[in-house]
Structure formats: C-alpha cells, structure tokens
Structure 1
Amino acid sequence: MRGAIAKTFYEHRELLDEDHVKEFLVKVPHLALDILMYMNKPPAPPGFPPGFGGAFR
C-alpha cells in the first residue's frame, strides 16, 4: 500500500504543496521516507531493460 501511495505522490507532485499533506507526512515519517526514496529512483518505464539509461543520470 505504501508503494502505491509513493507512486501517487511521484505522479502528482503538486500534492506536496498542500499544507494538510505536509502536516500528515510529518506525522508519518516512514511514509515520507518511502516517497523520497521512490522519487529518487522511480521504476523504469515498461519495456525498458533493467539498467537502461543509467549512465545518463
């Protein structure tokens, strides 16, 4: 479930601008960390081999 939430925040980053979302994430630091880690290394798009394009980061 936390993965789905992290993916939603990745796809809709504007949610992080909402004050009520910020207040919620302060209360749930593990979820905030999950979101941060997901944004740092999102999954590869479907159809791309693992590691494809890693040299361009």
Structure 2
Amino acid sequence: MAVKIDGRPYTVHRVVWLWKTGEWPFPEVDHEDRNGTNNRWTNLHEATSTQNQGEQRHGGD
C-alpha cells in the first residue's frame, strides 16, 4: 500500500512511522503479525532487511 506526498510514492507503514516518531525509519519497518496491510502503530517496529524478510524469526540468526 502506498500514498503520494508531493507526487512521490511512500509506503503507508513508513509514513505512519514518520507521523508517530517524527523521523523516517532506519533501515526498515517490519510488521509484527507479518500482515503487510496491518499498518497499526502497535504492529510496527524498526528492523534490518534480514529481520524484515523473516530470516531471524525462522532460526536464520
């Protein structure tokens, strides 16, 4: 899911992070429940690329 701000597309979960914290997430935002459409603040956390792809959650740490 994406929104456009000043003509530039942003994913909704990154905009939610910015709105709640005042900063862009670094490096990425992950969804706790693995549902990419659930952009509730309580479902989001910062993560590395590896964490975001689920490797760490599946024993790949």
The TM-score normalised by the length of structure 1 is 0.29
Q: Which has the larger radius of gyration?
A: 1
Q: Which has the higher contact order (CA 8 A, sep 6+)?
A: 1
The structure with more strand, counted as a fraction of residues: 2
- Larger % of helix: which? 1
TM-score normalized by the length of structure 2: 0.28
